[in-house]
Structure 1
Amino acid sequence: MDADLFDELKRFGLSNYEIKIYKTLLLKGPNTATGTVKIAGVPQPRIYDLFSSLEGKGFVDTVTGKRHLYRAVPVSQVLRREIIWLDNYVNEFESYVEKHRETEDLKEPYIWFVKGNKNVTERIISMIYSAKNEIIMALSHDSFVNVRKFINSALKKGITVALVLFDDTNDNELKTVPPGVILKKRLEKPMEMVLVDRNFILSNLKSGIENMDYSIYLEEDQLLHVLSYYFFYDIWLPSKYIIYPENFIHYKLNNIWLTCDIIDYYLTNNIKLKADLNGIINNKNISLKCEIIKTERINGVRQTFFVKDDKNTYSVGGKSALREDIKLIDVTISRLST
């Protein structure tokens, strides 16, 4: 585990010898070149070149005095700089592509295939990182372990996380679920799925069909609608609550059925709720600050909640709603002060 952890520094341009030096300085503290060579086990003739390279990459500082000492720059400081650079680079890159793209966005219901466990895990992590409001997941034990720390990061950003774990995750391991997650457990092991902001969905076919070594990934709205409700009926409803949506500041949501589930929990416990709602009414975008009154849920027919402001009462359905007054884009739910 330790070796794997430090080996990841190769992503930031460090060689094997540079990793050994940086690890030594992090764990043993500042040292001279001679002292570092003895501990890290790197070639003496190369030590100053290696230190010079590490300084240039921002991983090592030097102190000149009676002794010439080297110290490791804290990993959070080094990698935070990389994250800031990467965020800026991504924004510039996407802006350039948007400005110079010669074709329109794809409108057809394309289904993309992601092959191999490593690529599937990395795609899930990327989806979690890109989330703005809501992450809904059904994961096997191995997948949960691989993405657990990224779930925690999403929670710290105020993103709602609803998670279903399968029976390969035992009760002791359930205690490692980050605080703030809405958690259910499924006795069987259905297909793994990850749904983010009702904009992206990944379904791991290997988890449901033998000899399938790929997942499907899509962004098309109507297929998202179908697979979201597949998740609701085949995974969410048959699962047992382990952690209810209890203590919270707010929940940010996009999926209507999860929104109704959370509303039902609080209204059943006589807790009044308010909503900051963005939606579509008569083909126009609207924003409302309102009180949540009730839900009306008929499985297979409708998932609806009702809100009122100073003037009107509205019914709110999902993004594909036909009967309700408002089609939901996103909503932030919080307690109504009394």
Structure 2
Amino acid sequence: MNESELTSILEEAGFSPYQADAYVALLELGSATATDLAEESDVPDPRIYDVLRDLEKAGYVETYEQDSLRARVHDFEALQESLDDRATRFSRAVDEIERRWEKPRMEESVVNVVTRFETVLESAAEAIENAENQIQLTVNPDTFEVLRPALRAATDNGVAVNLAITTDGESESVPDPETVADVCTEARHRELSSPFVAIVDRKKAYFAPHEGSTNEYGLIVDDQTHAYVFYWFFLTTQWDNWEPVVAAEDDTQEYLEIRYCIRDIAPLIDDGKTVRLRVDGADTETGDRRVIEGTVKDVIVGPDHVNLETTPISSYGNRVAIVLETDDGTVDVGGWGALVEDVEAHRIVVESVE
């Protein structure tokens, strides 16, 4: 490091230009009279005494009298501590800037736009690992491997996971079905590249365009209404049209989406069978969790129930609801975002069909 660079760094550390110049010159001279130091450092003679006084006050030099006022560099520890402290603060500032850039505070905005996919992925992994009820997720094989530990933790906690795995049809292949089955409730294979999408507990959503997109960004959403848009995108483009690679277990009929439940039970109701359901959801007035059991009195889906088995879920655009007869009376059950019904269903289990 040359003299000019050292002087500039000392100025960045808080020295005035004259102080930095005089200090570097004094390092070279060892000790010197004020006059000699002024000549060596190009500090004007009238200013050299003030400069030395300030440096001495800071603990960087000491002055003493012989035939004239002389100065020498004081113990280096004072300057070393100052520079080390500044270096530590700069390093901490870099870490803090990086943290704020990569992980925007969720409370600042309902929707956060970030520049790196890794930021979206890290936030999604944390939400998945701490999920309480359900997850809808679209991933490619590589991203699946990254999120597999978080999915493992979620399924161990009893969270229902609908997993859509996408491949480009050329270089990518679907992971081993047994490996997939270990970390999800049901999985489907979409034979097209797709954006990354994750919806957690109907409250949080994470989105990033697929690889090769001209726009590189990510969205982190912390709002149920906004999350519903991503859920509908997942349901209609990532899930309903694709074949299962891991089917739900045969010993239970459990539904996260009311439309699938209605599609399966409507023909049974039309045939005069008695279907008993257990619904775990939320009261639409209070938002409190509400669990009810009862027999299906009616289903509401469009003008009729004809050919529901072959009707795409995306066409269930009208009001969709199930009317349950419970011990406490009739209860209307709706799907995500239910307004006129009594309960918003989160999970529906068919307990019996008679």
After TM superposition, the score normalised by the length of structure 2 is 0.54
The structural deviation recorded for 1:194 is 0.2
Please state how far the C-alpha of 1:126 moved relative to its aligned partner: 0.5
Query: SS at 2:180's partner residue?
Result: coil
Is the 2:138–2:165 contact (alpha carbons within 8 Å) kept by the matching residues of 1?
yes
> Taking structure 1 as reference, are residues 265 and 151 closer, same or farther at Cα in structure 2, changes over 3 Å only?
farther
After superposition, residues 117-196 of structure 1 pair within 5 angstroms as 117-168=117-168, 170-171=173-174, 173-179=176-182, 180-196=184-200
Whether 2:240 is the aligned partner of 1:224: answer no
Shift of 1:188: 1.7
Structural mapping, 1:253-332, within 5 Å: 253=256, 258-262=257-261, 264-265=263-264, 272-282=275-285, 285=288, 287-291=290-294, 293=296, 295-298=299-302, 299-322=316-339, 324-328=340-344, 330-331=346-347
Deviation at 1:252, TM superposition (A): 8.2
C-alpha distance in structure 1 between counterparts of 2:157 and 2:282, whole Å: 23
Distance across 2 between alignment mates of 1:310 and 1:171: 47
Q: Are 1:260 and 1:295, in contact at CA under 8 Å, matched by a contact in 2?
A: no
Q: 1:292 to 1:200 in 2, by over 3 A?
A: farther
> Which amino acid counterpart does residue 275 of structure 1 have in structure 2?
R
Uncovered stretches (5+) of structure 2, i.e. residues with no partner: 1-106, 303-315
Q: After the TM superposition, which residues 2-41 of structure 1 pair with which residues of structure 2 at under 5 Å, given as runs?
A: none
Which residue of 1 is the match for residue 83 of structure 2?
A: none
CA displacement at 1:332 relative to structure 2? 5.5
**RMSD (CA atoms):** 3.3
Give % identity. 16
Q: Does the aligned pair in 1 maintain the 2:336–2:346 contact within 8 Å? A: no
Q: What secondary structure is seen at the aligned counterpart in 2 of 1:170?
A: coil
SS at match of 2:235: helix
2:205 aligns with 201
Q: Deviations along 1:118-168, whole A, 9 cap, x unmatched?
A: 323222211111200001111111111111232122111111000111134
Matching residue's letter, 2:332 = S
Distance 1:250 1:242 in 2: 17
1:211 maps to which of 206, 214, 238: 214
Contact between 2:181 and 2:187, CA under 8 Å: does it hold in 1?
Answer: no
Number of aligned residue pairs: 226
Report if aligned partners of 1:125, 1:147 keep a CA contact under 8 Å in 2: yes
Tell me if the contact between 1:159 and 1:251 (Cα under 8 Å) persists in the aligned partners: no
Cα displacement (A) at 1:284: 7.1
Distance in 2, matches of 1:197 and 1:271, equals: 31
Tell me if the contact between 1:271 and 1:335 (Cα under 8 Å) persists in the aligned partners: no
Cα distance in structure 1, aligned partners of 2:265 and 2:155: 20
Q: Structure 1's 172 and 125: CA in aligned 2 closer, same or farther, altered over 3 A?
A: closer
In structure 1, the gaps of 5 or more residues are: 1-104
Mapped contact 2:280–2:290 kept (Cα < 8 A): yes
> Residue in 2 aligned with 1:242?
245
Which SS does the other structure have where 1:193 is aligned?
A: strand
Q: CA deviation at 1:273?
A: 4.8
| TM-score normalized by the length of structure 1 | 0.56
The 3-state SS of whatever aligns with 2:153 is helix
Secondary structure at the residue paired with 1:176? helix
